[in-house]
Amino acid sequence: MPERTGDDDVVMVRRLTRWQRLGMAALFLMGVFVVGAAVFVWTGYYNISAKSEHWDFTTEILQTVRDQSIRARADSIAVPDLDDPAMIALGREHYRGGCASCHGLPGEERNPVARAMLPDPPDLAYAFERYEPGALFWLIDNGIKYTGMPSWPGTGRQDEVWPMVAYLKSVHDEIAPGTVLDDTSSDGEPIDTYGFQVLDECSRCHGDAQTGPVSDRVPSLSGQPPDYLERALREYRAGLRESGYMEPAAFALTDQAISRFATLYSQYPSRSADTEFDPDQVARGAEIAMNGVPEDDVPACTSCHGNGNPQFPNLAGQSQTYLEGQLELWRNGGRDTTPYGQIMAVIGRNLTPSQIEDVSAFFASLEQPASGGGQ
Ligand code: HEC
Ligand code: HEC
Ligand code: HEC
């Protein structure tokens, strides 16, 4: 009997030992790995200098992670018409102010500082070839972590990103291999000289005394109440009104510049729309504007817009696309972080998409008010 017990003990001990050995081996390997990783990190062995490339396999892993990540997220994105000239025009102007500092103008040499980045910002003349439109949209909206490629500055303003994709498509459509694309949008002549160097920066998009906005997605500022324009610029500057186009344009403006811009732009001559409108749609829109939609708690727009309050923007003669865009923004919960924005948020949420189109067509079909006034 004692012997049997001894045998059993031996078997037990052997089994335990086998598991223990495996476990210990695994623990040991993990320990070596952790200590190795710690030594690797603490000794500063890895060279993070942007002067030397990553190891090939590091680059490979990073690129695969990046490409798969974009692909997985961009799959189901619906693509709008990218040949719209108004989208391309706005994209081009923002590209000059917001992207060219890193990526250079398409097809042109990039500045040496940008070329010294790792990874360096690629020439975007070929971006439309490399990516599906949905992937480009995702990439420009989100940016890429740890590379210097920023996300779109206007939080929640995905609606602003498509003009950038449209512009990159237009570059791709135009470019012949080896050509250098000249920036032909605004012709380099100083447009206005009101003692403001920076005014060109605004006129590129908003136009000036002679020309209207570069795109129907850019609001006309002529004839707006200066108080409204001033408040809008302060809100962009403070990041209270989100826009990836306007926050970068406004963040460095001084109070003095803001009030001078506001006065100047409000005095530019008003212009009338040269677009054709569907009379039935305009009539439906007029009904909403003048009488509201009582059953949906929508008040008459003209009870505020046009009542002379200097904080209420003029809608008459503004482009239909811009008006629709702002109303859609409110409908979807954007532009509601300021007290004035909240007034419109309540109204925007109660409008249907077709009512938004109708009422926007109505206001767009009207003459702009005389300069400096508010309607
Ligand atoms: C501060 C510099 C910087 C700015 C400003 C910038 N980018 Fe980039 N961008 C980068 C870098 C760096 C990369 C490379 C990232 C990588 O390789 O993963 C990049 C990559 C890209 C790519 C992918 C290109 C390719 O061939 O893989 C696109 C598209 C792009 N940027 C678009 C834009 C647009 C549009 C803007 C302006 C709204 C912009 N970028 C502004 C730095 C910048
Ligand atoms: C890249 C094109 C671009 C540039 C450059 C630009 N803007 Fe704008 N601006 C826009 C767009 C697009 C909007 C509409 C943004 C939104 O949806 O809120 C806008 C909106 C505005 C508004 C609000 C108008 C309203 O009816 O609510 C003001 C005011 C304004 N811009 C002034 C300026 C001034 C001043 C400058 C120069 C410092 C400037 N912008 C530069 C494109 C531009
Ligand atoms: C109670 C007053 C009030 C009523 C009624 C009203 N609005 Fe407004 N609306 C405002 C205010 C205030 C703003 C400025 C919001 C801001 O500064 O963000 C504004 C802004 C807007 C803008 C943005 C203009 C720009 O230049 O960015 C649009 C578009 C607009 N309203 C459309 C309408 C329509 C359409 C109706 C009717 C269905 C309407 N509003 C009814 C007060 C009103």
Structure token digits, residue 218: 């850019």
Q: Is 335 a pocket residue for ligand 3 (Cβ < 6 Å)?
A: yes
Ligand 2 center to residue 41 CA distance, Å? Answer: 47
What residues have CB less than 8 Å from 235, skipping those under 6 apart?
Answer: 241, 338
pLDDT exceeds cutoff 50 at 370: yes
What pLDDT does 75 receive?
86
Write the CB contacts of 290 (distance below 8 Å, at least 6 apart in sequence).
300, 301, 302
Does the pLDDT of residue 5 top 80, yes or no? Answer: no
pLDDT band at 190 (very low <50, low <70, confident <90, very high): very low
306's tokens: 């046009």
Residue 163's contacts (CB-CB under 8 Å, 6 or more residues apart) are 87, 88, 90, 91, 94, 215, 217
Asked if 114 contacts 101 with a C-beta cutoff of 8 angstroms, the reply is: yes
Q: What is the mean pLDDT of residues 345-353?
A: 96
Most ligand 2 atoms within 8 A of CB, residue of 157, 197, 206 to mutate: 206
Is the CB of 303 inside a 6 Å radius of any atom of ligand 3?
Answer: yes
pLDDT above 70 for 38: yes
Reference 125, options 179, 163, 84, 82; nearest CA is 179
CB 77 within 8 A of CB 137: yes
Cis peptide before 122 (omega within 30 of 0): no
Closest atom of ligand 1 to 126 CA is 26
Distance (Å, rounded) from C-alpha 304 to C-alpha 315? 11
pLDDT at 371: 63
- pLDDT tens digit sequence for 123-175: 998 899 899 999 999 999 999 999 999 999 999 999 999 999 999 999 988 86
Share of the chain above pLDDT 70, in %: 87
Which is nearest to 334 in space by CA: 271, 243, 249, 230?
A: 243
CA of 242: how far to CAs of 160, 221, 333, in Å?
Answer: 10, 18, 12
State the average pLDDT over residues 265-275. 79
Rounded CA gap, 278 and 286, in Å? 12
Q: How far is the centre of ligand 3, averaged over its atoms, from the C-alpha of 339 (Å)?
A: 12
Which pLDDT score, from 0 to 100, does residue 10 have?
A: 55
Question: Which residue's alpha carbon is at the smallest distance from atom 8 of ligand 1?
Answer: 149
Q: Kindly provide the b/e burial profile for residues 128-139, where b requires at least 16 CB atoms within 10 angstroms of the residue's own CB.
A: beebebbbbbbb
Residue 260's pLDDT band, with cuts at 50, 70 and 90, is confident
Mean pLDDT of 53-74: 92
Q: Whose CA is nearest to atom 2 of ligand 2?
A: 205
Closest CA to 329 of 313, 344, 311, 314: 344
Residue with token string 């189901």: 76
Q: Is the CB of 261 under 6 A from ligand 2?
A: yes
* C-alpha–C-alpha distance, residues 230 and 256, integer Å: 10
Contact 267, 281 (CB under 8 A): no
Give the mean model confidence (pLDDT) for residues 202-228.
Answer: 90
Ligand 3, atom 37, lies closest to the CA of: 301
Identify the band that residue 264 occupies on the pLDDT scale cut at 50, 70 and 90: confident
| Nearest CA owner, ligand 3 atom 38 | 301
